[in-house]
Amino acid sequence: MRSPTNRVQLFDTTLRDGSQTAGINFSAEDKVRIAERLAEFGIGWIEGGWPGASPKDTQFFELLRKRRWPSTRLVAFGSMARPGQIASEDTGLRHLAKSGADAACVFGKSWDLHVTKALSIGLPENLDLIHDSVACLKERLPTVFFDAEHFFDGYRDNPEYALEALKAAHAAGADGLVLCDTNGGNIPFTVSQVVTEVIRQFPDTIIGIHAHNDCELAVANSVAAARVGAGMVQGTINGIGERCGNANLVSIIPILQLKMGIDCGIDAEHLKQLGSLSRFVNEMANRLPWQHQPFVGHNAFAHKGGIHASAVRKDSRLYEHIDPELVGNVRQILVSDQAGKSTVHLKMAEMGLDAGLDANDPAVKKAIQHVKELENRGFAYEGAEASFQLLLLKAMDRFRPFFELESFRVIDEKQGHELEPVSEVSVTLRVGPHITTTMARGNGPVNAMDNALRQALLPFYPGLASMRLTDFKVRVLTTQQATRATVRVLIESTDGHAKWGTVGVSANMVDASYQALADAVQYKLIIDKAEPPV
C-alpha cells in the first residue's frame, strides 16, 4: 500500500474528455483560458485535445506555443497508428509530434474483444501497433503516456493479453501506463486488486488511473487506485465528460491531500482556489453550478437544522468534516422553519445585529416565531437573506421603511394573435410625507412593476440607479390548486458591488413579485444608508 508521504501526479483532461460532454462546446479561446487557469492552480499535466482531429484543437495548440508555465506540462492526445500503417508515416502521430506539446498520451486497445471486434485485427498485430506507436513518439517527444483503453474489462476477460498490451508500451519506452475504466463499470475492490498486480509487474513505471463515472464510482475508484500505489490520477474539473462523466478532480484533490496525506502538488494557498476554479470551469462550460457538490458546492457546508447550527458555533468539527476555508468555501447557516434560537442568533451575529442580544432575547424569539409562520405560508429564506435581515430588523423594532405601498394596478393587453402583449403598471407609494404615482410599461407585468417602482423612487433615492435584477425564479407551491396555486418568487439583485436575495409569496404572481422587489429596494437603501425625505 502507498505510503502517505508519496506523491500522486494530477493529469487533467477537462479540455479533451470533458469537452465531450453533451451540451458543452468550448471554443479554442475558452480552452486557452481554462488551461491557463489550471496551470495557475498547479495541475501537473494538462491534456489539451487531439491535434489534427479538429481545426479547433489544432488552433488551441498553436495558441499555446508561447505558453510560459513554470511547472505544468501540456499534453497532446491521440490514438496509436492505424492498422496497416507504418507508425513513422502515420498522419495522426505526426500531428502529435508537431503539436508543440511537452508530451503525448496515446491510447490503444487492451481488451481482446475490442481488438477483434472494433479493430478487426489479430491480437499480435495490435501489440505491434502499440509498441511501434509509442516508440515513434518517444523519438520525437520527451514524455509519452500510454492509455490502456478498457483495461479493467480486458483484464477481467483475458488478463494475460491485457498485461501484454502494457508490456508492449513499456518495452517501447512509455513513461507511464494508464489503466482506463473506459465504460465506468468497475468497483473500488476490483480496481485495487488490479492496480496492485500491475504495479507488481511494472515497479519501475508510473501507473495511472483513468476512471469514468457510469456507476458513480469514478472518484472512489481513483482514490482506491492511489491508495494502493497508483502514481497518476486522470480526471476533469467538476467531473464533466462523456455519458455520466469522468473522475472529478475537485473531489479527488482534497480527498488525497486532506484525508490521505498524499501530495498532489497543490499547496495550501492554491487549494483555497479550488472553489473558484470549479465555478470558473462551469462558467466557461455555460453550466449552472451543482449547489450540493462536495467540497465546493454552495450548500456543501450549509446548516439548516437548529441543532446543527448550534453545534458548529461551538466547534465546527461536530458537523463539518473539514474547515470549508481549506477548499475556498464558506460555512452557511440557513434560516427555515427548523431554525432554533441558536440559528437565528448566529445569523444576527453574521449580520452585525446581535449587539446587546442573547439567544433568549424576546426579539430572537419573535423572529423565530415569525419565520416559522411565514415558512408555513410558503416563504423560504435560504436564498433570500436580505428579506430575512429585514424580518430581523422588524422583530427588533429597528426598521423604518423608506417607502410604503398605497396601491398598484396592472394592465396586460394583447391585440391579435401575432402581436406581443403589452404590460403596464401604475404604482402609488408613500415616501415620507410625499405621495407619488408612476406608470411604466415593461416586457411582462414583473418587468413593468420593476420599472414603475424604480421610476417612482429615483427622485427620492438616486442611488437606486445602480441597482438591477440578476435572477428571477418562480415556483408553484400548491400544484393541486392548478391556476389558483400559490407561488413563491425569488429575486437576486446587485448594485455592481454586493448581491442580495429577496422573496415574496402570494396566490397572485405580480403581488409576490412586488413583495420581493420591494424588499430588494428596501435592502439596497439600507446598505446605502439612505435617509427618507422629510
Q: Is the pLDDT of residue 182 over 80?
A: yes
Q: How would residue 272 be classed by pLDDT, with cut points 50, 70 and 90?
A: very high
Place of cell 410558503: 378
Beta pairing class for 73-79 and 103-109:
parallel
Asked if 484 contacts 509 with a C-beta cutoff of 8 angstroms, the reply is no
Q: Please give the span between the terminal C-alpha atoms of the chain, in angstroms, as a whole number.
A: 76
What pLDDT is stored for residue 40 in this prediction? 96
At residue 354 the predicted structure's pLDDT band, cuts being 50, 70 and 90, is: low
Average pLDDT over residues 13-38: 95
Looking at this protein, which amino acid is placed at residue 359?
A: A
- CATH number of the domain that residue 252 is part of: 3.20.20.70
Q: Residue 206: is its pLDDT beyond 80?
A: yes
Please indicate whether residue 524 or residue 419 has the higher confidence score (pLDDT).
524
Task: Return the pLDDT at 391.
Answer: 84
Q: Please give the tally of structural domains in the chain.
A: 2
Q: Contact at 8 Å (CB) between 130 and 172? A: yes
At which residue does the C-alpha cell 480552452 appear? 31
pLDDT at 4: 40
- Asked, for residue 516, whether it belongs to a domain, the answer is yes
Name the residue with higher pLDDT: 34 or 342.
34
Q: Which H or E run includes 391? A: helix 385-395
Nearest to 97 by CA among 35, 129, 142: 142
The yes-or-no verdict on residue 112 having pLDDT over 50 is yes
* pLDDT exceeds 50 at position 5: no
Is 332's pLDDT higher than 80?
A: no
pLDDT value of position 499: 87
Give the C-alpha separation, 347 to 352, whole Å: 9
Q: Where residue 2 falls among pLDDT bands split at 50, 70, 90?
A: very low
Q: What is the pLDDT of residue 223?
A: 98
Coil vs helix vs strand at 149? strand
Which range, of 142-151, 160-169, 236-245, 373-382, averages the lowest pLDDT? 373-382
Give the whole-angstrom CA distance, residue 377 versus residue 526. 26
Task: Tell me, yes or no, whether 377 lies in a domain.
Answer: no
- Residue 429 resides in a domain: yes
CB 193 within 8 A of CB 230: no
C-alpha 33/C-alpha 67 separation (Å) is: 12
Domain boundary among 266, 285, 318: 266
Range of the domain at 452: 404-527
Tell me what pLDDT residue 342 has: 56
472 has pLDDT over 90: no
List pLDDT tens digits, range 391-445: 878 877 888 899 999 999 999 988 888 888 889 999 999 999 999 999 999 988 9
Q: Is residue 67 part of a domain?
A: yes
Task: Give the pLDDT confidence score for residue 114 in this predicted structure.
Answer: 96
What pLDDT was estimated at residue 362? 75
pLDDT at position 396: 76
Q: Count Cβ atoms below 10 Å from residue 514 Cβ, excluding itself.
A: 25
Q: Give yes or no for a contact between 451 and 444, defined as CB atoms under 8 angstroms apart.
A: no
CA distance 241 to 337: 39
**Among 393, 300, 298, residue whose Cα is nearest residue 351:** 393
Residue (of 278, 271, 315) closest to 298 by Cα position:
278
104-108, 471-475, 494-498: least confidently modelled range: 471-475
Evaluate if residue 359 carries a pLDDT over 90. Answer: no
What pLDDT shows up at residue 374? 72
Q: Tell me the pLDDT tens digit for each residue of 275-290.
A: 999 989 998 998 878 9
Considering only residues 527 and 12, tell me which one the structure prediction assigns the higher pLDDT.
12
Number of Cβ within a 10 Å radius of residue 299 = 15
Has residue 351 got a pLDDT over 70? Answer: no
CA distance 217 to 167: 28
- One-letter amino acid identity for 449? M
| pLDDT for 337 | 46
Q: Is 441 within a domain?
A: yes
Q: Which residue has the higher pLDDT, 307 or 169?
A: 169
Q: What is the tens place of the pLDDT at every residue in 226-265?
A: 999 999 999 999 999 999 999 999 999 999 999 999 999 9
- Decide if 32 is inside a domain: yes
Confidence of residue 488 (pLDDT cuts 50, 70, 90): confident
Nearest to 198 by CA among 159, 172, 236, 142: 159
Q: Please calculate the CA angle 329-335-340 and round it to the nearest 5 degrees.
A: 115
219, 244 Cβ separation under 8 angstroms: no
Of 152, 144, 135, 165, which is closest to residue 192 (Cα–Cα)? 152
Alpha-carbon span 252 to 258, nearest angstrom: 10
CA distance 477 to 488: 7
Q: What is the pLDDT of residue 100?
A: 97
Residue 495 CB-density burial (10 A; 0-12 exposed, 13-18 middle, 19+ buried): middle
In a domain, 231, yes or no: yes
For residue 489, give the H/E element and its range: strand 487-494
- 455 vs 359, more confident: 455
Residue 141 has pLDDT above 90, yes or no: yes
Residue that is last in its domain, among 207, 234, 266: 266
Which residues does 406 contact at the CB level (< 8 Å), separation at least 6?
428, 429, 430, 435
Is residue 385 one of the residues assigned to a domain? no
Whether the CB-CB separation of 493 and 520 falls below 8 Å is answered with: yes
Q: Count Cβ atoms within 10 A of the Cβ of residue 409 and give its class: 0-12 exposed, 13-18 middle, 19 or more buried.
A: exposed
Per-residue confidence (pLDDT) for residue 425, from 0 to 100: 95
pLDDT at 3: 43
The pLDDT value recorded for residue 318 is 83
CATH number where 495 lies: 3.30.160.270
pLDDT, one tens digit per residue, over 333-349 is 665 544 555 556 666 66
pTM of the model: 0.72
Contacts of 75 (CB under 8 A, 6+ apart): 11, 45, 46, 47, 48, 101, 102, 103, 104, 105, 145
Among the candidates 266, 291, 318, a domain finishes at 266
